[in-house]
Chain A
Amino acid sequence: MAATATAPAGARPVRAGRRLRLPAWIGTTPFLAYVGIFLLLPTGIVVVNAFRGPSGALKLGSLGTLFESTDRGFFINSFELCLISSALGAVLGAILAYAIATGNPDGTVRRLYIAVSGVLAQFGGVTLAFAFVVTIGPVGLLFHASWFYAFPWGIAVIYSYFQVPLMVLVFLPAIDGLKVQWREASESLGSSAWQYWRYVGGPLLWPAFAGAALLLFANALSAFATIVAWENQIAYIVPQQIYLSINSEVGLSNVNEADVLALGMIILVAVIMTGYALLQRRAARWLR
């Protein structure tokens, strides 16, 4: 295509019949738009509103109210419940994961348990509470364990119903990553089973275990449905209190308190998830 006039420097000649070239990242705009509206915007609203007073003016001391006795009580309860259920879930889950990992990698038992874990890890909620009511509730199938209704122990055991499967899903890859050669090398060098776990297996699995336990903690922190369906209108933990603040039966909904509590939860969970990510990176380097 002969140019009859000199094109100005920097101009790109438009080729006849070709579409306009767009940068490749345009392809991600639908996703970005969606996430922007339904995830980032709500989060932003929460954060901003947490720092606003009832009149709309900026109030920076909001986070301070989290340390007052009423709110603090909810956080302490949440913390207690999460600690117990994630400790329980982590230990039991690790044992179950080990039992699964040492079996046939293609076998039925493994597939069955992974499928079961996949379902149960997601399916807590109301169903779970029902199931436990009919197992150990007043007219339950088994015995009636009235101590189960005392916070936090009973609900913590119920939480383990979905914490253990989640632990299996998250921790199993780590155990799979333990190479058989390490065990054999250790044994041929003279270690007993205990020594192997103490010097080799344990240290290698520790970051993955701690990371998974953190994940369980964050998971318990966010759980809402189960405790709502289990406990009779009594609010113990932060999520319940958030609900009440939004939909208060008193009349005027106290949205600001909900925002503050929500912000507190965000910060807490963000810290936990950062810890999880760091631990996972270490685990991945060794166990991949």
Chain B
Amino acid sequence: MTSPVTDTTNTAARGAVEVRMEGLSRRYGPVVALDGLDLTVQPGELVTLLGPSGCGKTTTLRLLAGLEDADAGQITVGGADVTRLPASKRDMGMVFQAYSLFPHMTVQQNVAFGLRLRRVGSAQRDRRAMEMLELVGLVTQADRYPHQISGGQQQRVALARALAIEPQVLLLDEPLSALDAKVRAQLRDQIRRIQLEVGITTLFVTHDQEEALAISDRVGVMQEGRIEQLAPPTEVYSRPATPFVAEFVGLSNRLPGTVSGSTVTVRGRDLPLVDAATPAGPVTALVRPEAVTLATDSSGDSGPLTGTVIASTFLGATSRVTVDLGDITILAQLSTADAAGLPAGSRVSLTIRPDPVLVSAADAPAESEA
């Protein structure tokens, strides 16, 4: 669902702004949350910060929002330096993870709140609030109170409220984490659709990689206060820059291999390398389960790429099959129809698709788990 950022007609017309963060640092006592972080969000772009708890993604968002002060660094929005500005003056819309709607106000009053603060007349306020409610599809709930609507609806109201003030930047702090899986999928698509329609520069924070991959123009994978890779979703997935990214985003099989020249030899097959300059020697190759294909093996051989199916996990459209190759186990991802033909105990032979492979330092010999 990504839209090329190079389409500037919509964004230019809306006056979307660039957000630039340079050298941001923040510590809480002895804990360093951010260490000299640099990030630039292009006008109209949706960048997602993805990472485990404590990686600094929420801290970055809060520094941008002005809810906390950075220890060092600079934040520029649309060319203006906002580092010293308090949150109330930064003209940003923020959607929180949960509980942020004011319980004593109706949905409409919530959405209109920002306008009321700006002394917009009540007729105009109501009109604008209704516009926003239409955008998120909740016009019928305008007179309800937050405790009377569902979690997903509450977050849509929060989005409407944030957009009502026509902010320069939209910030979303794990807005879907507190919702059920089904609602989560629907809502994230809706958020992305609205974001494209309005054309607003957006920073999204989540720990759910599926979300990040589905809606972002670029994904920034973070760990321990640093961005490990900042790139469009397809690149982050298929050409991970570091082992952490490879393992955090999607699954990886860890297979021992040997590098020589510009390929790595894994179980007798030569695979191209992501980084051609990798020094020769023993390594661990990270192979995606979907790069592994299985076929029934009736030849009775026992080569390095033949094994027995141990189990398969049904995931809906696809299934993940665990294969025992004697010395290690490997995960393969197949369509469920294919997996059905390979019940536990079948002898199979494997092929590994020759996608470029990332390698990391060799594991200790005893460890060979995927």
Contacts and interface: CB of A to CB of B under 8 A. Distances in A.
B102 interface: yes
Nearest to A286: B103
A29 interface: no
A189 B114 contact: yes
Interface stretch (A46-54, A162-170, A191-199): A191-199
A203 B162 CA distance: 21
Contact of B117 (A181, A184, A191, A285): A191
Contacts of A200: 102, 104
B165 interface: yes
Interface string B137-163: 000000000010000000000100110
A187 B91 CA distance: 10
A283 to B, nearest CB: 10
A190 interface: yes
Interface stretch (B43-51, B92-100, B224-232, B298-306): B92-100
B87 A184 contact: yes
21 contacts: A182-B99, A184-B65, A184-B67, A184-B94, A184-B96, A184-B100, A185-B94, A185-B158, A185-B161, A187-B66, A188-B66, A188-B90, A188-B92, A188-B162, A189-B93, A189-B114, A189-B117, A190-B114, A191-B88, A200-B102, A204-B103
A179 interface: yes
A189 B67 contact: no
Contacts of A204: 102-104
A190 B165 contact: yes
Interface string B162-197: 100100000100000000000000000000000000
B113 interface: yes
Interface string B97-136: 0111111100000000110111000000000000000000
Contacts of B100: 179, 181-182, 184-185
Nearest to B94: A188
Interface of B: 65-67, 86-94, 96, 98-104, 113-114, 116-118, 147, 158, 161-162, 165, 171
Interface in A68-92: none
Interface of A: 179, 181-182, 184-192, 195, 199-200, 203-204, 285-286
Contacts of B103: 204, 285-286
Contacts of A285: 103, 147
Contacts of B93: 188-189
A187 B88 contact: yes
Contacts of B86: 187
A189 B161 contact: yes
A241 to B, nearest CB: 43
A188 B67 contact: yes
Nearest to B161: A189
A239 to B, nearest CB: 38
Contacts of B118: 190
A199 B93 CA distance: 19
Contacts of B99: 179, 181-182
A189 B87 CA distance: 8
The 3 closest A-B pairs by CB, nearest first: A189-B114, A181-B100, A188-B94
A188 B147 contact: no
A188 B113 contact: no
Contact of A192 (B88, B91, B165): B88
Nearest to A204: B104
Contact of A187 (B87, B98, B102, B158): B87
A11 B158 CA distance: 63
Nearest to A191: B117
A123 B89 CA distance: 49
Given A182-B102, A204-B103, A187 B117 contact: no
Of residues A181, A188, A200, A204, which shows the largest number of chain B Cβ atoms within 10 Å of its Cβ?
Answer: A188
Contacts of A185: 94, 96, 100-102, 158, 161
A203 B117 contact: no
A185 B89 CA distance: 13
Nearest to B67: A184
Nearest to A185: B100
A203 B99 CA distance: 17
Contacts of A286: 103-104
B86 to A, nearest CB: 8
Nearest to A188: B94
B165 A181 contact: no
Nearest to B116: A199
A235 to B, nearest CB: 45
A189 B113 contact: yes
A179 B88 CA distance: 18
Contacts of B96: 181, 184-185
A195 B187 CA distance: 31
B146 to A, nearest CB: 9
A41 B98 CA distance: 51
Contacts of A189: 88, 93, 113-114, 117, 161-162, 165
B109 to A, nearest CB: 10
A179 B171 CA distance: 19
Contacts of B88: 187-192
A184 B94 CA distance: 9
A188 B118 CA distance: 13
A286 B88 CA distance: 24
A184 to B, nearest CB: 5
A179 B92 CA distance: 20
Contact of A188 (B65, B102, B116): B65
A185 to B, nearest CB: 4
Contacts of B67: 184, 187-188
B177 to A, nearest CB: 14
A190 B117 contact: yes
Contacts of B65: 184, 188
Contacts of B162: 188-189
